[in-house]
Amino acid sequence: MKAKTENLMQAIISLSKQRGFMYPGSEIYGGISGMWDYGPLGLRLKQNVEKLWWRMFVENREDMYGLDSSVITHPDVWKASGHVASFADPLIDCKKCQSRFRADQIDVSLGCPDCSSHDFSEVRPFHMMFKTFVGAVEDSAAETYLRPETAQGIFLNFKNVIDSFHPALPFGIAQIGKAFRNEITPGNMLFRLREFSQMEIEYFVRPHDWEKYFEAWRTNINAWGEALGLRLQEIEVPAPERAFYSKRTIDFNFSYPFGQDELYGLAYRGDYDLQNHTKFSGKDLYYFDEATKERIVPHVIEPTFGVDRTILALLLSAYATEPDKEGTRTVLKLKPNLAPYTAAVFPLLSNKPELVLRAREIYQGLKSSLAVAWDDIGNIGKRYRRQDEIGTPYAITVDFETLEDGSVTVRDRDSMQQERVNETELAEYLRTKIA
Ligand code: ATP
């Protein structure tokens, strides 16, 4: 039984805080809107997502190059990209209660969502990049921005990667990193943050090939959704809502409790970015085809994946409450390869030194190659509940039989079924389960 939709966000928020997945940013100072910190378990989940993405889209392919570019760049980068001129959302204020909204997200004719007043300000553009200063002088010459997307760092290094690796077209550059946007209305936990992480790819193709590779990436994004067990809904973005340089964009939406909204995106960016950086930097950004002696400005397909929205979608999809022997259990049915811990190891009784010693040995043995947790607090039932709640797929109990024949009990999180496995086969057993 899924928790009631309206309570689901609250359930995720309190479980995250209590069990160490996510903590509200700067909480002891009263918090700061749009910022969340990853706790020990949230970080493990996030690292597992990022590792899987990197393996699937970089390591397992021959046409991809990884990058980790700086968050702060030359300010002209954002003039060339168009962000200085137009990275703004329409802002509207309620004059009565002073609440601020994105004008495109509220129905003005219904009045202020907070106080119902109809006394609104004019709609004006609100610039979303965070300004900062580089160097010791705080004047406009030293002013630049925190990047609002990771993509531009890739375009800046397009020529470097070509010169170092001489890739053949098509090829892609991938990067995982932080992005910063001063959103007008942050909220819904990890959905709309002011500091968040993106996993982005710029895939460079011959101009006439763009449709073929757009389709290929569409398939890849759906395969990624399947690998995570997330149900994605494709929405073709109509021309008036697309960036002017894009001939095609698909949003990959997810059904959050607050409505269906974007999780991932796929955009055809043409040669907009490379042409603009050529114009603004004065450096020719092109690809030289040795075979035909042609200079080509490749066109770009951009699949983009929000890390934090992925974490939110995973928590929402995995969360369940269901009856068990002792009443109701809360369980996070995360895929075994994503869960913060693959297994937890317990001694059946914590006051029997011989069981604790043997359990510690087994735990230490697994720990070198697998993500395992140790738990010896409370009775076995409580430990199962605790591990269910953080999504640990396997719980291993060391009991008196273990001392005799080396077998342990392995309990499956989802079916709650138990089986005996020999400790010598345990690591292989778990590895097979998470493969
Ligand atoms: P939205 O329409 O929701 O503001 P967007 O279309 O501006 O999103 P993109 O610029 O395409 O988003 O960013 C790429 C990805 O980065 C999004 O698909 C999303 O997963 C993630 N993302 C964008 N803005 C945020 C944010 N404020 N908080 C968390 N993730 C975000």
Q: Identify the DSSP state of 129.
A: S
What does the radius of gyration of the chain's CA atoms come to, in whole angstroms? 25
Q: Which of helix, strand or coil describes residue 182?
A: coil
CA 197 / ligand 1 centre spacing (Å): 10
**Ligand 1 pocket, 193 CB below 6 A?**
yes
Cβ atoms within 10 Å, residue 432: 9
Asked whether 183 lines ligand 1 (CB < 6 A), one says yes
Where in the chain are all domains bearing CATH 3.40.50.800?
A: 341-434
Give me the half-sphere count of Cα atoms (radius 13 Å) on the Cβ side of residue 214.
20
Nearest alpha carbon to residue 94 among 207, 186, 223, 184: 184
What is the residue with the minimal CA distance to atom 10 of ligand 1? 149
Contact 413, 395 (CB under 8 A): yes
Residue ranges with strand state E in 21-142: 22-24, 36-38, 64-67, 88-93, 100-102, 124-127, 131-133
Q: Are 387 and 19 in contact (CB under 8 A)?
A: no
Q: Rounded to whole angstroms, how far apart are CA atoms 311 and 338?
A: 10
- Nearest protein Cα to ligand 1, atom 23: 306
Q: Are strands 131-133 and 143-145 parallel, antiparallel or unpaired?
A: antiparallel
Q: Which atom of ligand 1 is nearest to the CA of 310?
A: 20
pLDDT of residue 342: 97
Could you tell me the two tokens for 271?
């040669």
- From 182, 193, 304, 307, mutation site for ligand 1 pocket: most ligand atoms within 8 A of C-beta: 304
pLDDT at 142: 84
Residue 244: what pLDDT?
Answer: 81
Q: Atom 1 (ligand 1): residue with closest C-alpha?
A: 262
The alpha carbon of 145 and the centre of ligand 1 are apart by a number of angstroms equal to 18
Distance CA 314, CA 49 (A): 10
Count of CB atoms situated within 10 Å of the CB of 388: 23
- CA separation (Å) from 304 to 206, 280, 394? 20, 25, 33
CB 196 within 8 A of CB 308: yes
Contact 306 CB / ligand 1 (< 6 Å): yes
pLDDT of residue 3: 47
Q: What are phi and psi of 260, to 5 degrees?
A: -80, 135
CATH 3.30.9.10 fits 341-434, yes or no: no
| Torsion of the alpha carbons at 24, 195, 256 and 218, rounded to the nearest 10 | -150
In terms of Cα–Cα distance, which of 318, 321, 322 is closest to 334? 318
Q: List, in sequence order, every beta strand (DSSP E) within 62-166.
A: 64-67, 88-93, 100-102, 124-127, 131-133, 143-145
Cβ-count burial of 292 within 10 angstroms (0-12 exposed, 13-18 middle, 19+ buried)? exposed
Scan for tokens 């230490």, then name that residue: 364
Q: Among 152, 309, 312, which is best to mutate for testing ligand 1, by the most ligand atoms less than 8 A from CB?
A: 309
User: Dihedral, CA atoms, 121, 125, 129, 133, nearest 10 degrees?
Assistant: -80
Whether the link from the prior residue into 170 is cis, omega within 30° of 0, is yes
Q: Residue 309 is encoded by which pair of tokens?
A: 């929205």
C-alpha distances out from residue 113 to 10, 103, 327, 343, Å: 21, 12, 40, 46
What is residue 4's predicted lDDT score, i.e. its pLDDT? Answer: 54
* Sign, CA torsion 19/24/25/31: negative
Ligand 1 centroid distance, CA of 306 (Å): 7
- The Cα–Cα gap between 127 and 181 comes to 9
pTM of the entire predicted model:
0.95
Q: Pairing between strand 394-398 and 343-347?
A: parallel
* C-alpha torsion 162→166→172→175, nearest 10: -60
**Ligand 1 mean position, distance from CA 99 (Å):** 23
Closest ligand 1 atom to 252 CA? 18
> Strands 22-24, 233-236: parallel, antiparallel or unpaired by DSSP?
unpaired
In the chain, which segments carry CATH 3.30.930.10? 2-75+134-315
Task: For domain 2-75+134-315, give the fold.
Answer: BirA Bifunctional Protein; domain 2 (3.30.930)
Nearest residue to 315 via CA among 15, 23, 34, 7: 15
pLDDT, tens digit only, all 435 positions of the chain? 444 555 999 999 999 999 999 999 999 999 999 999 999 999 999 999 999 999 999 999 999 999 999 999 999 999 999 999 989 889 999 999 999 999 988 999 999 999 999 999 999 898 999 999 998 877 777 899 999 999 999 999 999 999 999 999 999 999 999 999 999 999 999 999 999 999 999 999 999 999 999 999 999 999 999 999 999 999 999 999 998 889 899 999 999 999 999 999 999 999 999 999 999 999 999 999 999 999 999 999 999 999 999 999 999 999 999 998 888 999 999 999 999 999 999 999 989 999 999 999 999 999 999 999 999 999 999 999 999 999 999 999 999 999 999 999 999 999 999 999 999 999 999 999 988
Calpha distance 276→179 (Å, rounded): 21
Q: Does the beta carbon of 308 lie inside 6 Å of ligand 1?
A: yes
CA–centroid distance, 4 to ligand 1, in Å, is 27
Answer whether 174's CB lies under 8 Å from 274's CB.
no
Spatial separation of the C-alpha atoms in residues 271 and 300, rounded to whole Å:
6
3-state secondary structure of 128: coil
